[in-house]
């Protein structure tokens, strides 16, 4: 049995990771490609990349699905601002994102679906929700009735008043005259002038944000997803809404473990496209290596909220130089350096909710020990460090 424990955002505690089979279904909410990739994105997707690698190390097969939200309010708004066709805008930014992820050495997900390829599946789920009486149609739009599910709020643990406040900040229209309740969310939105649309039983329109991820996750991972992840800013309303609509449609538990990454801050506020306080991966490439950026990101626990500072990257660069010296070190003959305690400490850190900062500290201490060693054979120590490097997504460099 695996010793891995994961902090489940729903139960608000660390839980032993258990599966019925050795195959794990992982769904991570992907980007909405209306702008370029910033360090906050990199932190989330690098954290989940390490999770995939570590699960593989533990002997699990992983089906990793990360979607592309290629149609939503933000893309439509941005395309109008730039006077650029919405699909072209999304494809250009999605390509830049993929290039940034490759540069960071993040492995490509097994499945990378785009929302607009799954419109038919979304319509099928909306029809089920209408049939089961948890949704209603008004003037070509379809809404989920939150009052139909008493469990709405079980993930975020928010009051209804607080839910409404946050939902309004994230695109909800509480004054929509078609709604029965201001908190009801859109499953299918009737076409507006000048917006892209698709045919449906309720007329031309486009899907709501939440139904996109419910459809894509269950299409590839089944009714129950082992691990569902994303940034903590998605807990409400996105993930909360995914839960109720998915479980109402299937009658099954939607997600077993919820994992959420912390938010990066920059200049005193959450790093976000809307605020414009961004540090772009494209800019960091000019000064730092992918290893240095990864070391910087993974020196923070995936659930932590932290402020971006350049000095943190400089420290990561020094760590990178230390590791380079290790790879240049020639092993001696004779008795091997004992690395058992380092291996145990590293494994304990990773098993403890993916504590990459502690794991990196152990790797750094082992690297220092290797460099100080004058008589013992360090080939075994370097071999373990190589394994740890692979799971952290770092590459061996000599120069």
Same domain for 122 and 66: yes
* Residue showing tokens 């145990």: 344
Q: What is the 3-state secondary structure (H, E, C) of the chain?
A: CCCCEEEECCCCEEEECCCCCCEEEEEECCCCCCCCCEHHHHHHHHHHHHHHHHHHHCCCEEEEEECECCCCHHHHHHHHHHCCCHHHHHHHHHHHHHHHHHHCCCCCCCECCEHHHHHHHHHHHHHHHHHCCCEEEECCEEEECHHHCCCCCCCCCCCHHHHHHHHHHCCCCCCCCCCCCCCCEEEEEECCCCCCCECCCCCCEEECHHHHHHHHHHHHHCCCEEEEEEEHHHHHHHHHHHHHHHHHHHCCCCEEEEEEECCEEECCEECCCCCCCCCEHHHHCCCCCHHHHHHHHHCCCCCCCEECCHHHHHHHHHHHHHHHHHHHCCCCCCCECCCHHHHHHHHHHHHECCCHHHHHHHHHHHHHHHHHCCCCECHHHHHHHHHHHHHHCCCCCCC
Quote the CA–CA distance of 154 and 149 in Å, as a whole number: 11
Ranges 31-35, 238-242, 264-268: which has the least confidence: 264-268
- Identify whether residues 215 and 329 lie together within a single domain: no
What percent of the chain lies above the pLDDT cut of 70?
99
Q: What is the mean pLDDT of residues 172-180?
A: 95
- CB 63 within 8 Å of CB 53: no
Q: Which residues of 364-399 are buried (b: 16+ CB within 10 A; e: fewer)?
A: bebbebbeeeeebebebbbebbeebbebbbbeeeee
CATH of the domain at 378: 1.20.120.640
Query: What was the pLDDT predicted at 333?
Result: 77
Among 6-10, 139-143, 309-313, 315-319, the minimum mean pLDDT is found in: 309-313
Write down which residue in 241, 270, 299 finishes a domain.
270
pLDDT at 273 over 90: no
**Does 384 have pLDDT greater than 70?**
yes
The domain boundary, picked from 250, 270, 290, lies at 270
In angstroms, the Cα distances linking 212 to 5, 14, 32, 67, 112 are 29, 29, 12, 9, 13
- Domains in the chain, number: 2
In-domain check, residue 40: yes
Q: What is the mean pLDDT of residues 39-63?
A: 97
Residue 282 is assigned to a structural domain of this protein: no
Q: Is residue 79 part of a domain?
A: yes
What is the reported pLDDT for 232?
Answer: 97
Q: Is residue 190 part of a domain?
A: yes
The pLDDT value recorded for residue 276 is 72
β-strand partners of 375: none
Kindly state the average pLDDT of the residues 166-178. Answer: 94
For residues 128 and 248, what is the distance between their CA atoms, to the nearest angstrom?
9
Query: What per-residue confidence (pLDDT) applies to 373?
Result: 86
One domain, residues 84 and 145: yes
pTM for the whole structure: 0.96
> Are 161 and 32 in the same domain?
yes
Residue 4 lies in a domain: no
Q: Which domain does 221 fall in, by range?
A: 18-270
So what's the pLDDT on residue 279?
87
pLDDT at 37 over 90: no
Lowest mean pLDDT among 60-64, 247-251, 334-338, 341-345: 334-338
- Is the confidence at residue 385, as pLDDT, over 60? yes
Residue 1: the pLDDT is 56
Q: Residues 71, 117: contact at Cβ < 8 Å? A: no
82-91, 224-233, 277-286, 311-320: segment of lowest average pLDDT: 277-286
Please check whether residues 75 and 208 belong to one and the same domain.
yes
- The pLDDT of residue 247 is above 60: yes
Residue 5 lies in a domain: no
pLDDT at 348 over 70: yes
Residues 93 and 202 in one domain: yes
Residues 70 and 201 in one domain: yes
Checking DSSP bridges between strand 264-266 and strand 306-307, what pairing results, if any? Answer: parallel
pLDDT at site 98: 96
- pLDDT at position 269: 78
Specify if 2 maps to a domain.
no
Domain check: are 341 and 214 in the same one? no
d(C-alpha 182, C-alpha 199), whole Å? 26
Please tell me whether residues 244 and 328 are part of one structural domain. no
pLDDT score for 388: 98
CATH number of the CATH domain containing 259: 3.40.50.620
In a domain, 280, yes or no: no
Q: Are residues 252 and 139 in the same domain?
A: yes
Q: Are residues 326 and 214 in the same domain?
A: no
- On the question of pLDDT at 225 being above 70, the answer is yes
pLDDT digit string (tens) for 95-112?
999 999 999 999 999 999
Q: How far is CA 300 from the centre of its chain?
A: 15
| 257 lies in the same domain as 342 | no
């Amino acid at each position: 049995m695996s010793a891995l424990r994961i902090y489940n955002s729903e139960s608000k505690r660390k839980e032993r990771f258990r599966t019925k089979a050795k195959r794990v279904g992982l769904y991570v909410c992907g980007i909405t490609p209306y702008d370029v990739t910033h360090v906050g994105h990199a932190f989330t997707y690098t954290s989940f990349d390490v999770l995939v690698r570590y699960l593989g190390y533990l002997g699990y097969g992983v089906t990793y699905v990360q979607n592309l939200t290629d149609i939503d309010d933000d893309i439509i708004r941005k395309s109008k601002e730039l006077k650029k066709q919405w699909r072209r805008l999304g494809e250009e930014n999605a390509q830049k994102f993929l290039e940034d992820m490759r540069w960071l050495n993040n492995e490509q997900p097994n499945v990378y679906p785009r929302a607009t390829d799954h419109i038919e599946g979304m319509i099928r789920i909306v029809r089920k929700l209408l049939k089961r009486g948890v949704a209603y149609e008004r003037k070509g739009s379809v809404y989920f009735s939150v009052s139909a599910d008493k469990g709405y709020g079980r993930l975020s643990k928010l009051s209804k008043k607080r839910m409404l406040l946050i939902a309004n900040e994230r695109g909800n229209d509480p004054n929509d005259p078609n709604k029965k309740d201001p908190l009801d969310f859109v499953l299918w939105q009737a076409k507006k002038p000048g917006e892209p649309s698709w045919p449906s039983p309720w007329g031309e329109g486009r899907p709501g944000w939440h139904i996109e991820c419910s459809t894509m996750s269950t299409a590839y991972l089944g009714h129950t997803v082992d691990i569902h992840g994303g940034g903590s800013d998605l807990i409400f309303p996105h993930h909360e809404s995914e839960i109720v609509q998915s479980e109402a449609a299937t009658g099954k538990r939607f997600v077993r473990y919820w994992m959420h990454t912390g938010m990066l801050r920059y200049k005193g506020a959450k790093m976000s496209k809307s605020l414009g306080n961004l540090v772009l991966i494209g800019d960091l490439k000019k000064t730092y290596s992918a290893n240095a950026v990864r070391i910087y990101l993974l020196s923070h626990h995936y659930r932590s909220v932290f402020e971006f500072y350049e000095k943190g990257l400089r420290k990561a660069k020094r760590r990178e130089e230390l590791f380079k010296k290790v790879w240049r070190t020639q092993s001696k003959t004779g008795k091997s350096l004992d690395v058992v305690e380092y291996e145990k400490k590293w494994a304990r850190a990773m098993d403890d909710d993916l504590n990459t900062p502690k794991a990196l500290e152990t790797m750094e201490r082992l690297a220092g020990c290797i460099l100080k060693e004058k008589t013992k054979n360090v080939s075994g120590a370097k071999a373990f460090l190589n394994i740890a490097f692979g799971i952290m997504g770092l590459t061996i460099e000599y120069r």
